[in-house]
Structure 1
Amino acid sequence: MSTQQQGVISRVTTGMRVVDSTGVEVGTVDLVQRGDPAAVTVQAPAGTDPGSSLDELIESAAVEEPDVPADLAARLLRSGYLKVSLARTGAVYVPAERISGVTDEGVRLDVPAAQLPPEE
């Protein structure tokens, strides 16, 4: 996570409005998670079946957020992210690098909301 991304995400607070790159208000910030470059990545032990053992390892870790596939979760934990409640249904995760700006009016993204990973 770059110093610039840390500075941007540190200005975000829960409840802020979120506007995507098309200018559409997509929802509000539910959770702000700053990045941790040393975040643990989930890997199956070498020489084992990656299917069930990886799933079991993920479940045993009991990490509630972000609720996305393990590889994406690891990237989000390292880079930092926002969880945004959508105006209509569900929630999406915004990687820190997708935040183009933060003002008193809210958070501006550099992608359309449709391109953001949904909560599972």
Structure 2
Amino acid sequence: MSQQQDTVSRVTTGMRVVDSTGAEVGTVDLVQRGDPAAVTVQAPDGVDPGSSLDELIESAAVEEPDVPADLAARLLRSGYLKVAAERARTGAVYVPADRIAAVTDQGVRLDVPAAQLPEEE
């Protein structure tokens, strides 16, 4: 298990999340461990090979993460947290696993400011 996977596996829903400045981001809504083979470049059967990546991902019925296709693919491979965040326009942001600095009894600390986290679409 990679260090990122180990870190993500210690996170539980409801944990408090703070960014690199110490500002409260929100609480963990969803924990998704990474899957290095999550989004492959091969088209699923029955999909036109000329389809765009967005159409391929939609055809795979991936509901989370609700972000642009290239970012979704990266998040699915590396693992991520979905955080309920009042400051976010859509009410949620995504935290890539490699942005988690620490997981403690107090919650999750990130290594980036909240403004750099992708919002749910």
TM-score, reference length from structure 1: 0.86
TM-score, reference length from structure 2: 0.86
Name stretches of at least 5 consecutive residues in structure 1 with no aligned partner: none
Pick closer, same or farther for the CA change 1:57–1:6 going to 2, 3 Å: closer
Whether 1:97 and 2:101 are equivalent positions in the alignment is no
Between the aligned partners of 2:78 and 2:25, the Cα distance in structure 1 is: 22
- Once the two structures are superposed, residues 39-63 of structure 1 have per-residue CA deviations (whole angstroms, 9 ceiling, x without a partner) of 1235673xx3xxxx32433322211
Q: Could you say which residue in structure 2 is the equivalent of 1:57?
A: 56
Shift of 1:6: 1.2
Q: Could you say which residue in structure 2 is the equivalent of 1:73?
A: 72
What SS does the aligned partner of 2:14 have? coil
Between the aligned partners of 1:28 and 1:87, the Cα distance in structure 2 is: 10
Name stretches of at least 5 consecutive residues in structure 2 with no aligned partner: 44-48
What SS does the aligned partner of 1:8 have? helix
Q: Could you say which residue in structure 1 is the equivalent of 2:8?
A: 9
Q: Could you say which residue in structure 1 is the equivalent of 2:31?
A: 32
Cα contact 1:93–1:119 (8 A) shared by 2: yes
Same amino acid, percent of matched pairs: 85
Tell me the number of residue pairs that the alignment of Structure 1 and Structure 2 aligns.
Answer: 113
Q: Which moved more, 1:33-42 or 1:98-107?
A: 33-42
Q: Could you say which residue in structure 2 is the equivalent of 1:41?
A: 40
What SS does the aligned partner of 1:73 have? helix
Cα contact 1:30–1:83 (8 A) shared by 2: yes
Alignment-mate amino acid for residue 73 of structure 2: A
Between the aligned partners of 1:69 and 1:41, the Cα distance in structure 2 is: 16
Q: Which moved more, 1:10-19 or 1:79-88?
A: 79-88
Pick closer, same or farther for the CA change 1:38–1:58 going to 2, 3 Å: closer
